[in-house]
């Protein structure tokens, strides 16, 4: 991952937020599928 070195702190922060939200949403979607 050489691209992460080019990101400044704000971009890295936003990327982490996006990744965390995406992972949570995917987890909820899988949980919803398993609940059926």
- 15 Cβ partners below 8 Å, 6+ apart? 7
**Any domain includes 26:** yes
- Domain, as residue range, for 29: 9-35
Measure CA of the first residue to CA of the last residue in the chain; give whole Å.
38
**Any domain includes 4:** no
**Any domain includes 3:** no
**pLDDT given at position 27:** 96
Separation CA 19–CA 29 (nearest Å): 15
- Confidence label for 3 from pLDDT (cuts 50, 70 and 90): low
**Any domain includes 22:** yes
Better-scored residue on pLDDT, 4 or 34: 34
Domain count, the chain: 1
pTM above the 0.75 mark? no
Check pLDDT > 80 for residue 26: yes
Q: Map tokens 């971009």 to a residue.
A: 11
**Any domain includes 1:** no
């Amino acid at each position: 991952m050489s691209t992460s070195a080019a990101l400044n702190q704000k971009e890295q922060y936003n990327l982490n937020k996006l990744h965390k939200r995406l992972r949570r949403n995917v987890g909820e979607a899988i949980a919803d599928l398993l609940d059926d």
